[in-house]
Amino acid sequence: MKSFLVIGVGRFGRHLCKKLYELGYDVMAIDRNEDCIEPVLPYTLNSMIGDSTKSEFIKSIGVSNFDTCFVAIGDDFQTSLETTSLLSECGAKYVVARASRDTQAKFLLRNGADEVVYPERQLAEWSAIRYSSNNISNYIELPGENSIFECKVPKSWEEKTVLELDIRKKYKVNIMGIKKGDNWYMTITPQTKFEKDQDIMVYGANKYLEKFLHFDSSNFTTEEEAKDND
């Protein structure tokens, strides 16, 4: 079972602990504020009050025993930077640090962070994309400028198969699954037929997904359909 260390349990850190706990992982939380520690006690295997900028304290935790260490400190960048650096020096396997600006991310990556996350920015981007179309139900951004979208089947696809539509060639995206009722079916073959009002899971590079989904349009049309309407 994977184990995680979360340093800084404000709102972001607290939600992180809770979700990791719900997924069945071991979580340890650290914060210098006792009032922040108390709400996460039900979601952690162990919690400590301490100063993460102190070398002796970080060494005493045994950070190399955790699969991932999260630096979730959001209100004090200097503390976040020092904590990130100490984790790296003390042998942390993988350090994920929180940032709110690109400048912060550069410093964090130069001082021990393996990865940087932007909670506010990522949520804002997700919300903008999710609610800019009446047809997008869900959205997951992946590394390398790729994403997964859940959306409605385009009208022109109804009663047609994957083979007939030649989806990969025409649209440069992949269909990962089809939702029927409350269940997802992930085995897609050339003979898979699309039906009216189905949800589909689409994977691809962002530049092709943007053309495919037409984020700026309230009417869901694919790139091919848009050409036909010109």
Q: Which CATH code for domain 123-213? A: 3.30.70.1450
pLDDT at position 127: 62
Note whether 134 and 218 are within 8 A (CB). yes
pLDDT at position 126: 58
Count CB neighbours of 162 within 10 A. Answer: 19
CA gap 147, 138 in Å, rounded: 11
CA gap 128, 141 in Å, rounded: 13
pLDDT in tens, the chain (230 residues): 899 999 999 988 999 999 999 999 999 999 999 999 999 999 999 999 999 999 999 999 999 999 999 999 988 999 999 999 999 999 999 999 999 888 999 999 999 999 998 877 666 665 666 555 556 777 777 767 788 888 888 888 899 999 999 988 888 999 999 988 788 989 899 999 999 888 999 998 888 887 777 644 334 455 555 555 44
Every domain of the chain and the residues it spans: 3-117, 123-213
Note whether 51 and 69 are within 8 A (CB). no
CA gap 20, 228 in Å, rounded: 47
Would you tell me which CATH number, out of the four given (1.10.510.10, 3.40.640.10, 3.40.50.720, 2.60.40.1180), belongs to the domain 3-117? 3.40.50.720
